[in-house]
Structure 1
C-alpha cells in the first residue's frame, strides 16, 4: 500500500505537474482545486501528508485546509506551498510543519517531502500517537494452502502412473512362469522316447 498525499491548489497546471511527479516517485495522490474541496477530502479519506497552497478562494484559504488537517484523528504531516515567502513564525503559527516555496527543483521537493514524513512519524511515535505510515499488506495464507494442495495432487498422479506401469513391467515375468510347465513336458517326452529306444527287442520263440 502506497503513502497517500492530498494536494490542494487552485492553479491546475501546478496541481497536475506535482501530482505526476509524486506518483512517479511512488506516492498515491489525490487533488483538490479549492480549499473547500480539500477540506471535504480530508474528512472522507486518510492521508499521510497534506500539501496546500495559501492563496486560493481568498488570501488565507490555505489556513482553513491546515485547520481541517490538524483536526483529523489520523494526524497527517502538513506542508504549506506558496510562491510568496512567509516568515517562519507565521507558517508555524498557522499549523504547518514545513514551508515549500514554488517553483522548486523536483529532487529537492521530493527530498523535503520524504524528510517531513519521516520526522512527522517520529514526532507521533514520541507522543504515543498512532503513526500513518502505510504497511505492506501481509501475504494471504490461502496461497500457501493452494501450493500444498497442488503438491499432494501431483504426488497422487505420480502414484497412479506407477500403478499403471507396474502390470506392463511384470507381464514378461508372468509369461515366463507360464512357459515353464511346457518346457517340463517337452523334457518328459524326450526321456520317454529315449527309454523306448534303449529297450532290447524281444526274440520270438
Structure 2
C-alpha cells in the first residue's frame, strides 16, 4: 500500500516539483493550492501525512491546515514547509510534527519525511496500546444461567 501525502502550497512551481519528487519516491500525492482546499480534502480523504506551506493566502493559512489535520480522526503526521522559519509557530496550538525549511536538498527532504512517518506511526501504535491497556476488556458471556437461590 502506497503512503498518501496531501501537499499544500500556493506556489504552483513548488507544488508540482515536490509532487514529482514524492511520486518518484513511491508516495501517492494529492495537492491543494490553498488552506480552504486542503481543509476540504483533509475532511474527505485519508492521508498518512499532511505537508503544508506556512504562509499562503494569509499568514495563518498553514496553521489552519495543521489544526484541521490535528482534528482528523485518522491522525496524519503533519509537516510545515517554510522559507522563513520563525518561532511564531511554536506554542500557537498548531504545532506541526516537523518544520521543513525550503529550499531543501531532495534527498534530505525524503529522509526527513521517512523518519517522520516512522516515528509518527510508532507514536500512534504506542498510544493505541496504552489506550487498550486502560480500558477494561468486555466480559464474555458464558451462556450458562445461574441457579436462583430458593
TM-score under structure 2 length normalisation:
0.82
**Looking at both structures, which has the greater relative contact order when contacts are Cα pairs under 8 Å and sequence separation is at least 6?**
2
Q: How many residues align?
A: 129
Quick check: which one's helix share is greater?
1
1:51 match: 51
Confirm or deny: 8 A CA contact 1:50 1:77 kept in the other structure. yes
Unaligned runs of 5+ in 1: 130-205
Matched, 1:69 2:80: no
Deviations 1:90-147 (A, max 9, x none): 1774231000000000000000000000000111011117xxxxxxxxxxxxxxxxxx
Confirm or deny: 8 A CA contact 2:64 2:94 kept in the other structure. no
Deviations 1:11-49 (A, max 9, x none): 000000000000000000000000000000001110000
Deviations 1:30-76 (A, max 9, x none): 00000000000001110000000011110111111111100000000
Confirm or deny: 8 A CA contact 1:48 1:117 kept in the other structure. yes
RMSD: 1.6
1:167-178 equivalences in 2 (<5 Å): none
| Whole-angstrom CA distance in 2 between matches of 1:123 and 1:91 | 21
| Whole-angstrom CA distance in 1 between matches of 2:76 and 2:7 | 12
1:27 match: 27
Change in Cα spacing, 1:53 to 1:60, as seen in structure 2 (3 Å) is same
| Whole-angstrom CA distance in 2 between matches of 1:15 and 1:31 | 7
Matched, 1:101 2:92: no
Quick check: which one's strand share is greater?
2
Larger radius of gyration: 1
